Amino acid sequence: MVRGTALERAIHAKLMEATGAEVLQVLNESRMHNVPPKAETHFRVVVVSSRFEGATRLRRHRVVHSALAEELAGPVHALAIDALTPAEWRARGENRSLSPDCRGGARADAAD
């Protein structure tokens, strides 16, 4: 069973169905942004699928966006996507990074 919140599990299930992913990570990066505690608005997904063989980056992203259309129209404000083939995943090795912390956007204290 996949752990996480109901939204994280829904994202995981939809991407598994759409891609047949061999590796699938759903990372809630909301804590790195200027949002309320326990927000579920900013996500990164890492999707590794042989179905991406021969597909452009744009086509891969369209597959992910299509699968998550409901979430992107509702609670998910931002989605970072790493859509890779198994060979691309192996080539990355340990050079896998998270998104950078948000600089605060329009927060009043960001002007410091």
pTM of the complete model: 0.81
Cα–Cα distance, 64 to 47 (Å, whole number): 9
Burial of residue 32 (CB within 10 Å: 0-12, 13-18, 19+) is middle
Cα–Cα distance, 41 to 8 (Å, whole number): 11
pLDDT at position 104 is: 59
Domains and CATH numbers, the chain: 22-92 (3.30.300.90)
- Say if residue 97's pLDDT is above 90: no
- Say if residue 30's pLDDT is above 50: yes
